[in-house]
A and B are shown apart, each in its own frame.
Chain A
Amino acid sequence: MKTAAQYEESLRRLNLKVYLQGERVENPVDHPIIRPSMNSVKTTYALAEDPLYQDLMTATSHLTGKKINRFCHLHQSTDDLVKKIKMQRLLGQKTAACFQRCVGMDAINAVDSVTFEMDQKLGTKYHERFTQFLLKMQEEDWTVDGAMTDPKGDRGLSPSQQTDPDLYVHVTERTDDGIVVRGAKAHQTGALNSHWILVMPTSTMRQEDADYALSFVAPADGKGIFYIYGRQSSDTRKLEGGDIDVGNKQFGGHEALMVFDDVFIPWENVFMCGEYEFSGVLVERFAGYHRQSYGGCKVGVGDVLIGAAAVAADYNGAAKASHIKDKLVEMTHLNETLYACGIACSAEGHKTASGTYLINMLLANVTKQNVTRFPYEIARLAEDIAGGLMVTMPSEKDLRHPEIGKVVEKYFRGVASVPTEDRMRILRLIENLTLGTAAVGYRTESMHGAGSPQAQRIMIARQSNPERKKELAKAIAGIGTN
């Protein structure tokens, strides 16, 4: 396994082509806007080195028997699925941000079982190739970007119907040695902190869209691949040099547009190329694992937000009010409900033909459907408890100013025993999580990440077994029995 320092060093060796705010970034690792997101991924390595957390952070490879980082592991039991959720909660608590490495873990687990089933049915060699990649991933302890979402252009049209064919990643050429691909993936979490990219199709493809039924891996700094970094609200506060106004100085997350400009992929790195009838199951399984993930990571971040709201109540002198206590209870109830769903879909998981365990799909979709709602309510309650100051407070520079600093100290103090600076720090953290850079992960990602709410409702409808429920009701009501 890599140490945290080795991970950072390995990123420095990559030759990524990155654009941020209209400029090429030569050194993403040390860029003040990007660096906090790297720190979050780095924590997935740091905690795996720490005996206190190894039970969750590491696993035993079913391929080599060696100890590996859990993010490189294929789940071999429902216990593994449960530990995944607990690991994600832990990392959410330690970073209060998106730690980015889950997408790749969810992608390898989905690609494993689907390629196995493809080979069984079609006689292809995709699973063998994938296993070779996985061996290297485990050995090198790579962070892998799970790249599913295409820009998609007109949502009412299929990939092959788009005016611009590049709006979905597709094959433009097949040779004896490999394929050439073109297009882009949007919203790519942790793209610049990854060593490799694992591409999957974005939706179920039909025969006419067979060129878009694609799965492959590519090195993150491969020829023809470049990135345009996504903006986050308040991101430029990171350029101001202070440490209060950013809310969370050390950690963050990021997304980027990832462009494939005629990229050559050798056959050994291709895991699906035209087998459109398997695209749907790959999308479903990846989305299922990723919907499970949110029952862990968002809960960990929620723990921090609930804590921050409770501290704000203490500093405001309102902690003893019964409605404040009740709001903290409600936040906890919502957060633990998400966790309960994450644990449930894991405990109810099952083995697939490849031996890798899959979550219970219905419960994973229920988990994510709740995640599209509860963090918003938790955030609303946190804002209620925090008070308006979280968005009207002066800046850190004002606090440090030789003259007006005294005024800030005087008028923004809550309970007399707590320094104004501490009160400002906790309110800025709440701002960061509910409206600032971390709200990208805690709010909008909760809504759209792993699929928008309607995508879960479709899956829930498909698995709700209404006929069985009707039979139960009829039996109790005495219908059709006499």
Chain B
Amino acid sequence: MSDQRVSINFCGGCNPWINRQEIAQEVKRLLSQDGCVVVFNSYEADLVIYLSGCSSNCAQKFSSEVIPCVVVAAASIDAAAVEEQKIAAEIVARVRRFCKRMEVSMGSGHGSNRADNFSRR
């Protein structure tokens, strides 16, 4: 379905309220099935999933990269509360929406990787 490159960027993990490892594994498994290339801790990607264990959001906080992203900080995605068990599925749904937009914009000849609904920083 997609050959997008997605990076999961972790915080340092000093005070996790969610199981970052389990979430990352599940996201990688599902996105790989879609044909995405999933890497870790990189900005060489079409989209970054910032995965922080607590609300401090250290995975993203110290980054000045301007890149489409999904921000997970404790049990929240893009500042809205999400139960821990639903986080992986919700991330994947958001990445799929992003990939779909990319395909549409490539198909329509715009060729831009700007997806309006995704936060960037």
Chain A interface residues toward B at CB < 8 A: 78, 120, 348-353, 360-361, 465, 468
Contact = CB atoms under 8 A, between A and B. Distances in A.
B55 A350 contact: yes
23 contacts: A78-B61, A120-B80, A348-B55, A348-B56, A349-B56, A350-B55, A350-B56, A350-B57, A350-B73, A350-B79, A351-B57, A351-B79, A352-B79, A353-B78, A353-B79, A353-B80, A360-B55, A360-B56, A361-B55, A465-B15, A465-B17, A468-B16, A468-B17
Contacts of B16: 468
A257 B56 CA distance: 38
Contacts of A78: 61
Given A78-B61, A120-B80, A468-B16, 13 more contacts: A348-B56, A349-B56, A350-B56, A350-B57, A351-B57, A351-B79, A353-B78, A353-B79, A353-B80, A360-B56, A361-B55, A465-B15, A465-B17
A58 to B, nearest CB: 24
A468 B17 CA distance: 8
Contacts of B73: 350
A348 B15 CA distance: 12
Nearest to B55: A350
Nearest to B73: A350
A351 B60 CA distance: 11
In the A-B complex, the 3 residue pairs with the smallest Cβ-Cβ separation, listed nearest first, are: A353-B79, A348-B56, A350-B55
Interface in B51-71: 55-57, 61
A350 B57 CA distance: 7
Chain B interface residue number, banded: 10 to 19
Nearest to A361: B55
A468 B55 CA distance: 16
Contacts of B78: 353
A441 to B, nearest CB: 31
Nearest to A352: B79
A352 B57 CA distance: 11
A353 B73 CA distance: 12
A117 to B, nearest CB: 8
Nearest to A353: B79
Q: Which of B15, B17, B79 has its CB near the most chain A CB atoms (within 10 A)?
A: B79
A174 to B, nearest CB: 30
Interface string B72-99: 0100001110000000000000000000
A348 B79 CA distance: 15
Contacts of A353: 78-80
A120 B80 CA distance: 10
A242 to B, nearest CB: 51
A120 B73 CA distance: 20
A424 B61 CA distance: 51
B65 to A, nearest CB: 16
B67 to A, nearest CB: 17
A78 B55 CA distance: 12
Contacts of A468: 16-17
B121 to A, nearest CB: 10
A349 B80 CA distance: 15
A348 B57 CA distance: 8
Contacts of A352: 79
A100 to B, nearest CB: 30
A350 to B, nearest CB: 5
B62 to A, nearest CB: 11
A352 B73 CA distance: 11
A189 B27 CA distance: 50
B118 to A, nearest CB: 15
Most chain A CB inside 10 Å of its own CB: which residue of B15, B17, B55: B55
**Residue among A120, A348, A349, A360 with the highest chain B CB neighbour number at 10 A:** A348
Interface string B2-43: 000000000000011100000000000000000000000000
Contacts of B61: 78
A353 B79 CA distance: 5
A139 to B, nearest CB: 28
A279 B31 CA distance: 39
Nearest to A363: B56
B21 to A, nearest CB: 13
Nearest to B61: A78
Contacts of A348: 55-56
Q: Which of A350, A352, A360, A468 has the most CB of B within 10 A?
A: A350
Nearest to B53: A468
